[in-house]
Amino acid sequence: MRVSELHACLKRAQVRLQDILDEIGYSEEERVQKINDVHTRIKGLLNQLIKEEEERKNRLMKSIESCIKELNNLCSELQLPLYKEEDGCSMLQREKNSSTHLEVMKEHKKKRMEALKGLVAKDRELCDILCTTPFCIGHDSIPSLKQLETYHAYLDDLTKEKERRHGEFVSVKKEINVLVD
């Protein structure tokens, strides 16, 4: 509702209220008091609405700040550029954007940690078989994409070594069987 419409609406309501008060038979002093009470209630309602919206604005600001702080922490952990807000967005849009971006970053973190977990399990299995030391990588921190690639390449090499050794073992075993026969 525009200001002019609101003003017209309030004027019509005041005239209607005045007519009702006249019909009831209130004295001029009582009518003035009733109208003053109405003005006080309207002012109170407007002040309450303003206070509620200011509180909402403050909650939005805190939410945005908290979200951006968490986002930047995640970006640092993931070794990605820090989050940059778009200029010219409303607070609601900023909250939505930062919240959406945060969920995406949490998903990146989850996928990297799952990938690391899978690589660590494969590494342990291969190290047990080949009697080698495990790959040196922090299991609690989030690995970079480069670290995951390096780890994956290392495990590919270990797998090839395992296959090579297995092939050599089979070959030597055949030779031993031939010699025994």
Among residues of the chain, what percentage have pLDDT more than 70? 99
Q: Say which residue the tokens 């968490």 belong to.
A: 70
Q: Say which residue the tokens 């403050």 belong to.
A: 58
Token digits of residue 47: 């002040």
On the 0-12 / 13-18 / 19+ scale of CB atoms within 10 A, 34 is middle
3-state secondary structure of 48: helix
Q: Which domain holds residue 89?
A: 3-180
- The span from the CA of 90 to the CA of 22, in Å, is 48
pLDDT for 67 beyond 90: yes
Specify whether the CB–CB gap between 68 and 105 falls below 8 A: no
pTM of the prediction?
0.73
- The span from the CA of 45 to the CA of 39, in Å, is 10
Specify whether the CB–CB gap between 58 and 123 falls below 8 A: no
Q: Say which residue the tokens 């009831």 belong to.
A: 24
Of 147, 145, 128, residue with least CA distance to 136? 147
Residue range 116-151, pLDDT digits in tens: 999 999 999 999 999 989 888 887 788 988 999 999
Residue range 13-61, pLDDT digits in tens: 999 999 999 999 999 999 999 999 999 999 999 999 999 999 999 999 9
Over residues 64-89, the mean pLDDT reads: 92
| Counted domains in the chain | 1
